Structure 1
Amino acid sequence: MIENDSGLYAAFKAKDARFDGRFFVGISSTGIYCRPVCRAKQPKAKNCTFYHTAAEAEHAGYRPCLLCRPELAPGTSITDATANLAIRAARMLEENCGSGQSLDELSGRLGCTSRHLRRVFTTEYNVSPVQYLQTCRLLLAKNLLTDTNLSVLDVAMTAGFGSLRRFNDVFKDHYHLAPTELRKKISEKKRTNGDITLTLGYRPPYHWEEMLHFLSERAITGIEIVKNNEYMRTVHLENTEGNSIFGCVKISHNPKKNALDAVVSETLLPVLPQTLARIRHLFDLYCNPDAVYEILQEMNNIHPGLCVLGTRVPGSFNAFEMAVRAVLGQQISIKAASTLAARIVKNYGIPILTGIDGLTHVFPTPKNILDMGSDISDNFGVLGVTSARSDTIYELARALTQKEIDFDLPSQPEEEIKKLMKIRGIGSWTAQYIAMRSMEWPDAFLETDAGIKKALPGYTSKELLKISEAWRPWRSYATVNLWNTL
């Protein structure tokens, strides 16, 4: 519980979208909890209690509102938490809520003991990691029950409950109704037919056209398509048994709901939480644009319009794919790099059937690259990739396979940047760019980048680096803002 509401009731009364996902409101007169943007009748202040997370509200005995749907609230940026370890753990719990991952496994990935993680997590969120995980599973299940026609059994297994009986018991215990009863409360026209379509919220404003333009310029033929104001791509993930799961996703903008609509192929059900987490990362849905703009608005003192409120940093869906694309793009045009990447995909990617014209392959895995061995230069050479870059890609695949480098929310991105720069052929520009897009590192700055120098003419790289100090910790957002002016 937030002891001092610090004006949160006023934000709740104003339906201020800037606070969406940053707190939840428990209403004692109804026994439900809401997002601050809920349009239901305004409760009295004396009946409101404020919580940092949905898990905390549920632990206090509140049920989620069926109108504002707390499961659609945008998440928290890794830079928002005072306890960095806790927020990384929370994000990993969300991404792996369907995998059955144990707390010991999670703490091992984070480099600490389960006891330490439990202590830090409980201090930050006032609930245990296990309680937080259960809320993640319940809210994912509620989302699937509300927005899809999946069977209740499929919902239970996708959300990580392991059995239909356990799902029914937990759902009834927390929400005081059976999963099938929730379905009856949702009108048929609110459900999708056939495809699995889920809504992913963000904090407005969101510049969808700029995001699509960035992704369109860098799209890899066979893997990604941007058309009709939508982004589509193929997907290759592994389930808990290590088996490959293939499919595709289609993302469109839903500005009326301050959200993106994600259409996910049914084959991706076993890895649905991972898929949704990667979509959120790719489109930077965790961003708090007002916090970013508060620091970066002084860019406009250099030149009006350099910084625009709501600008996002494009992330990555497949970190290895994006890193290879970055290596290929060294000292050549964006179009030329896309051509080389497309050749690699056509010759060494994994063919899949998607039912969508143009989506034909998934990117080679690090293991696929390592299997080429010493022949990689010969294999890539005929495609137009230099031997030096071929060797760099091989070493990058080796480092990832042997877990020498961590792209998955690393606790110290700057250390991972140093490791990247130890790979021959990866300099500061490439390492910073990879960190910015794959590690959610918000403070990368590419002072030697041609686009940055074009956006801020007349400065040396050293001077640009000095100027950028005032933009910490949001220099990745400053970089994208500068690129957008071109």
Structure 2
Amino acid sequence: MIDNDSGLYAAFKAKDARFDGRFFVGISSTGIYCRPVCRARQPKAENCTFYRTAAEAEQAGYRPCLLCRPELAPGTSITDATANLVYRAARMLEKNCGSGQNLEEIAGRLGCTDRHLRRVFTAEYHVSPVQYLQTCRLLLAKNLLTDTDLSVLEVAMAAGFGSLRRFNDLFKKQYKLSPTALRKHTSEEKKPNDNITLALGYRPPYPWEEMLNFLAGRAIAGIEVVKNGEYMRTVHWENPAGKHVYGWVRVGHVPKKNALSVTVSETLLPVLPQVLARIRHLFDLYCDPEAVYETLRVMNDIRPGLCVLGTRVPGCFNPFEMAVRAVLGQQITVKAATTLAARIVETYGTPIQTGMKGLSHIFPLPEAVFALDGSIENHFGVLGVTAARSNTIYELARAFVQGEIDFDLCAQPEEEMKKLMAIRGIGSWTAQYIAMRAMEWPDAFLETDAGVKKALQPYTAKELLKIAEAWRPWRSYATVNLWNTL
């Protein structure tokens, strides 16, 4: 519970979108909890209790509001948790809520014991990791029940419940109504559809056009398409049972709802939480733009307009794909690197049927690259990739296959960057770029980048590093702001 002395009721009354996802409001007179942006009739202050997470509100006995739908609230950013460990644990629980991964495995990835993780998690969020995981599953299920025509059984399995009976029992216990009864409350008619469309919220403002332009300029033919104001790509995932799942996603913008519309093919239902987590990362939906701008607004003292409120850092969907793309982009133009990547996909990618024009392949798996016969130079050289970069890509594939480097919510990005730079052909620029886009490292800075130097002429790289000290811990956002000025 959060003390109201911080003015949270005033933010709730103002329906301030900047606070969406940062706290939830339990209303004693109705027994429900809401987002700060809820448009229902304003309750009295004495009937409101404030909670940091939806899980905490649910453990206090409140049910989610059917109007504002707490499951659509944007997630917390890295600054919202006093402990980086807790933040990353929460993200892993959200991502793996349907995979069956246990707390011991998550703690192991974070480099601590499950006992320590339980202690710090409970101290930060006032709920146990298991209770947080339960709420993640219930809210995902509620989202699917409301926005799709999936069967209740399909919803239960996609949200990570072991059985339909367990899902029904827990849903009724927590929300005081059955899953089928919830659907009757949905006023919007849903048309039968083989695909699944959900909304993912963000904190405004969101520079959708800038994000699309960035992704469009780097889109790899056969894998990504940007058209009609939407982003589309092919998807490959290996489910917990080791089965390979293929499909596609399409992402659009719904500015009136401060959300992105995400449509996924039906084939991806078994790995839906993981796919949604990747979309949130790719489009930086966890960002708190006000917190970032508060630090980076000093950039405008150098030149007005250098920093823009709401700027996001484009993430990635496939870390290996992005890392290879970064290596190909060393000292050549974005267009040239994209052309080389497309050649690799056409020659060594996995063809799939999507029924969507331009989405025809999956990027080569690191295992496939690592298993190529003979010298890697003989394979990639004929495609126009230099011998040095071909060998670097091979070593990257080996690192992925052997698990030497953690590219996914790693606990210590700076340590992983050192491992990257130990690979011949990867210097500071490439390591920082990979950390920024794949590892969600908010403090990467590319002082030798041509775009950064051009945006801040006539400063030298050494001078840029010194200036950028004032931009910590958001130097990744500073970098993107500088790129956007070109």
Query: Normalized against structure 2, the TM-score is what?
Result: 0.99
Q: 1 CA distance for matches of 2:445 and 2:226? A: 27
In 2, the alpha carbon distance for the partners of 1:306 and 1:296 equals 9
Question: What corresponds to 1:94 in structure 2?
Answer: 94
Alignment partners' CA distance in 2, 1:277 and 1:152: 22
What do the CA deviations read for 1:310-353 (whole angstroms, capped 9, x no partner)?
Answer: 01000000011000000000010000000000000000001111
> Could you tell me whether the CA contact under 8 Å between 1:23 and 1:53 is conserved in 2?
yes
- Segments ≥4 residues shifted beyond 3 Å: 190-194
Question: What is the identity, as a one-letter code, of the residue corresponding to 2:410?
Answer: P
Counterpart code for 1:433: Y
CA contact (8 A) 2:23 2:53 kept: yes
For 2:407 and 2:78, how far apart are their aligned partners in 1?
Answer: 14
CA distance in 2, matches of 1:312, 1:444: 14
How many residue pairs were aligned?
486
Correspondence for 1:355: 355
Q: Secondary structure at the match of 2:80?
A: coil
**Aligned residue identity for 1:18:** R
By how many angstroms is 1:387 displaced?
1.0
TM-score by length of 1: 0.99
Letter paired with 1:339 = T
User: 2: distance between equivalents of 1:5 and 1:413?
Assistant: 36
Q: Which whole-Å deviations, capped at 9, do the CAs of 1:457-478 have from their partners, x for residues lacking one?
A: 1111000111101111110000
**Partner of 1:25: helix, strand, or coil?**
strand
C-alpha offsets along residues 177-232 of structure 1, whole Å, 9 cap, x if unaligned? 00000011102425673321000000000000000000000000000000000000
Deviation at 1:422, TM superposition (A): 0.5
What is residue 171 of structure 2 aligned with on the other side?
171
User: Is residue 20–residue 36 contact of structure 1 (8 Å, CA) maintained in 2?
Assistant: yes
- Whichever residue aligns with residue 217 of structure 1, its letter is G
**Distance between the aligned counterparts of 2:100 and 2:424, measured in 1?**
38
1:484 matched residue in structure 2: 484
Partner of 1:317: 317
1:112-151 pair list within 5 angstroms: 112-151=112-151
**Aligned residue type for 2:293:** Y
Instruction: Determine helix, strand or coil for the equivalent of 1:347.
Output: helix
Distance 1:400 1:291 in 2: 34
Q: Distance in 2 between matches of 1:193 and 1:363?
A: 28
Q: Once the two structures are superposed, what CA deviation does each residue of 1:113-132 show, in whole Å capped at 9, x if it has no partner?
A: 11111111101111000000
| Equivalent in the alignment of 2:184 | 184
Corresponding residue for residue 446 of structure 2: 446
**1:92-116 CA-partner distances (Å, limit 9, x unpaired):** 0000000111111111111111111
Structure 1 segment 296-335 matched on structure 2, within 5 A? 296-335=296-335
Work out the CA distance in 1 between the residues paired with 2:432 and 2:374: 28
Distance in 2, Cα, partners of 1:5 & 1:411: 33
Other-structure match for 1:11? 11
Does the C-alpha gap of structure 1 residues 191 and 311 become closer, same or farther in structure 2, counting only changes over 3 Å?
A: farther
How far apart are the structure 2 equivalents of 1:374 and 1:149? 50
Judge conservation of contact 2:146–2:183 (CA < 8 Å) in 1: yes
Query: Would the aligned equivalents of 1:249 and 1:264 in 2 still touch at CA under 8 Å?
Result: yes
The 10-residue stretch of structure 1 (1-10 or 25-34) with the greater mean CA deviation from structure 2: 1-10
Counterpart position of 2:399? 399
SS at match of 2:414: helix
Instruction: Establish whether residue 415 from structure 1 lines up as the match of residue 438 from structure 2.
Output: no
In terms of mean alpha carbon deviation, does 7-16 or 368-377 score higher? Answer: 368-377
**SS in structure 1 opposite 2:78?**
coil
SS of match in other structure, 2:205: coil
C-alpha deviations, 1:240-264, integer Å up to 9, x for none? 1121110000000000000000000
**Conservation of the 8 A alpha-carbon contact between 1:168 and 1:179:** yes
The whole-number CA distance in structure 2 between the counterparts of 1:298 and 1:191 is 49
Q: Which residue of 2 aligns with 1:157?
A: 157
Is the Cα–Cα contact under 8 Å of residues 147 and 191 in structure 1 kept in the other structure? no
Give yes or no for contact 1:96–1:274 (8 Å, CA) kept in 2. yes
Q: What is the alpha-carbon distance in structure 2 between the residues aligned to residue 169 and residue 87 of structure 1? A: 29
C-alpha separation in 1, matches of 2:8 and 2:383: 58
Give the equivalent residue in structure 1 for 2:29. Answer: 29
The percentage of counterpart residues that share the same residue type is 79
In the alignment, which residue of structure 2 is the partner of 1:286?
286
Residues 149, 190 of structure 2: 8 Å contact kept: no
How many Å separate the matches in 2 of 1:343 and 1:80? 42
User: Which one-letter code corresponds to 1:107 in the other structure?
Assistant: A
AA paired with 1:244? H
Q: How many Å separate the matches in 2 of 1:373 and 1:474?
A: 43
In 2: Cα distance, 1:115 partner to 1:451 partner:
46
- CA spacing shift, 1:22–1:192, aligned 2, 3 Å: farther
Structure 2 counterpart SS, 1:189: coil
Q: Which residue type is aligned with residue 35 of structure 1? A: R
CA deviation profile, 1:356-387 (whole Å, cap 9, x unmatched): 01100010111011111543110001000111
Q: Is the 8 A contact 2:195 2:266 kept in 1?
A: yes
Q: Which secondary structure does the structure 1 equivalent of 2:447 belong to?
A: coil
Give the superposed CA RMSD.
0.9
Instruction: Supply the AA of the counterpart residue of 1:456.
Output: L
Distance in 2, Cα, partners of 1:368 & 1:375: 14
